[in-house]
Amino acid sequence: MKRFLKGLLALSAAVLVLSACSSTSESEKTADKDAKHIGILQYVEHPSLTASRKGFIDELKKEGYVNGKNIVIDYKNAQGDQSNLQSISEKLIRKNDLVLGIATTAAQSLASLSTDVPILFTDVTDPVSASLVKSMKHPGGIATGTSDMAPIAKQVELLKEVLPNVKKVGIMYTTSERNSEVQVNQAKKLFKKAGIETVVKGISSTNDVQDTAKSLMSKSDALFIPTDNTIVSSINLVTELSKEMKVPVIGGSADVVAQGVLFTYGADYESLGRQTAKMGIQILKGKKPSEIPAEYPKSVKAVVNKKIAKLLGIDVSQITE
């Protein structure tokens, strides 16, 4: 009897698994038969990346492209796991008419596999060095999209305004993130031009964040971070050290400011997603990605944490949000 029950349970489990594998999403069930299929690959769970995805979907809807009606959206998140990217990318490319990669790594994974399915990207700092396009004006392939390149020159300018006596800035970034490396190289040049010395340290994983941040803060007047997915996922470790050691953190994406970063200046990610959607609509209407120039953010802003400024005794009144 026990053997029979075990066999029955095993058979039931197998049926459930097969049912799950063969089932179609609700949006597929309700969509028009000629609906366009759009795959979205997000590299990691991250407020900025999620805001871009939201903006993308909302703008499509605003323009009449509604999920479950005339489009079907197939969303996948790699959860920061590099080993997941290829298998997810293969499935999305095989099943969709257009794919969107959110963040550099996701976009590169899709681009490395697709030969004819058009690729959109967003939240990619430097699409050219990431080999996604030949140039911003002339993409030249099957991919185009938007960069989230922060105006680092403006970050440096604002730092000089709020901390006129700053002599040395620590810079922390993840060595495996090409987007971070590009920003760090630019930041080093700009800080040098402004007469500010830099101390740079790379990390390989979130395990390195706390010790590296502490080391850099002990040697610096401020800590600069790029829009780095790995660091942002552990930003609370950095901002707690900032409060403890009285060393301000600047840079990163807008969402980290609420978590204790003093200020940043960069893209509005929901707007960036909307900007990307407008490009996607052109592709859905028949235009080739190679004919659509890649774009930088059209909406940038300063974001300041006044509570942190007060705690650290820093006057940020000259920064206009």
**Cα 132 from Cα 292, distance rounded (Å):** 13
Q: With 80 as the cut, is the pLDDT of residue 7 above it?
A: no
Same domain? 192 vs 244: yes
SS (H, E, C) 37-75: EEEEEECCCCHHHHHHHHHHHHHHHHCCCCECCCEEEEE
What's the pLDDT at 170? 98
Q: Which two tokens stand for residue 307?
A: 């509570």
pLDDT of 13: 42
Confidence of residue 248 (pLDDT cuts 50, 70, 90): very high
pLDDT band at 177 (very low <50, low <70, confident <90, very high): confident
Query: Would you state the pLDDT for residue 2?
Result: 42
Give CB contacts under 8 A, 24+ apart, made by 213-220: 213/172, 213/237, 213/238, 213/241, 214/241, 214/245, 216/170, 216/171, 216/172, 217/170, 217/241, 217/242, 217/245, 217/247, 218/245, 219/168, 219/170, 220/168, 220/169, 220/170, 220/247
Mean pLDDT within 62-91: 94
14: β partners: none
C-alpha 304/C-alpha 310 separation (Å) is 11
Residue 183 belongs to a domain = yes
**Whole-number pLDDT of residue 9:** 43
Q: Is the pLDDT of residue 125 over 50?
A: yes
- Looking at the fold, whether 117 and 59 belong to one and the same domain comes out as yes
The reported pTM is 0.80
With a cut of 80, say whether residue 201 has pLDDT above it.
yes
The reply to whether 33 and 140 lie within a common domain is: yes
Alpha-carbon distance of 247 to 207, in angstroms, equals 21
20 falls within a domain: no
Q: Are residues 37 and 110 in the same domain?
A: yes
C-alpha–C-alpha distance, residues 165 and 189, integer Å = 19
Let me know whether 307 and 174 are in one domain: yes
Q: Look up residue 295 and give its DSSP letter.
A: B
pLDDT tens for residues 274-285?
999 999 999 999
Let me know whether 167 and 237 are in one domain: yes
Residue 313: half-sphere exposure toward Cβ, Cα within 13 Å: 3
Do 76 and 176 lie in one domain? The reply is no
254 contact partners, CB below 8 Å, separation of at least 6: 48, 264, 266, 267, 268, 269, 301, 303
Q: Token pair of 306, please?
A: 């006044």
Q: Report the pLDDT value the prediction gives residue 24, as an integer from 0 to 100.
A: 43
Average confidence score pLDDT of the chain: 90
**Nearest Cα residue to 110 out of 85, 133, 81:** 85
**Quick check: is 281 in a domain?**
yes
| Residue 23 within any structural domain of the chain | no
CB 268 within 8 A of CB 222: no
Tokens of 9: 């349970």
Of the candidates 268, 299, 297, 305, the one whose C-alpha atom is nearest the C-alpha of residue 48 is 268
Report yes or no: 240 and 261 within 8 Å, Cβ to Cβ.
Answer: no
How far is Cα 288 from Cα 182, in angstroms, rounded to an integer? Answer: 28
Give residues with Cβ within 8 angstroms of 71, minimum separation 6: 31, 35, 36, 37, 38, 60, 65, 284
Q: Are residues 124 and 167 in the same domain?
A: no
Q: What are phi and psi of 149, to 5 degrees?
A: -50, 120
Convert the pLDDT of each residue in 210-232 to its tens digit.
Answer: 999 999 999 999 999 998 888 98
Residue 142 pLDDT level (bands cut at 50, 70, 90)? very high
Model confidence over 19-54: pLDDT tens digits?
Answer: 333 334 667 778 788 899 999 999 988 888 999 999
Q: Measured between alpha carbons, how far is 48 from 25 in angstroms, rounded to an integer? A: 26
The one-letter code for the residue type at 278 is: K
The residues that bridge with 102 in the sheet, in sequence order, are 42, 122
Mean pLDDT of 235-262: 94
Q: What pLDDT, on a 0 to 100 scale, did the predictor assign at position 45?
A: 86
pLDDT of the residue at 25: 64
CATH of the domain at 291: 3.40.50.2300
pLDDT value at 15 more than 50: no
Same domain, 161 and 184: yes
Which range of residues forms the domain containing residue 227? 152-266+301-312
Residue 18 lies in a domain: no
**Domain-located, residue 248:** yes
Report how many domains make up the chain.
2
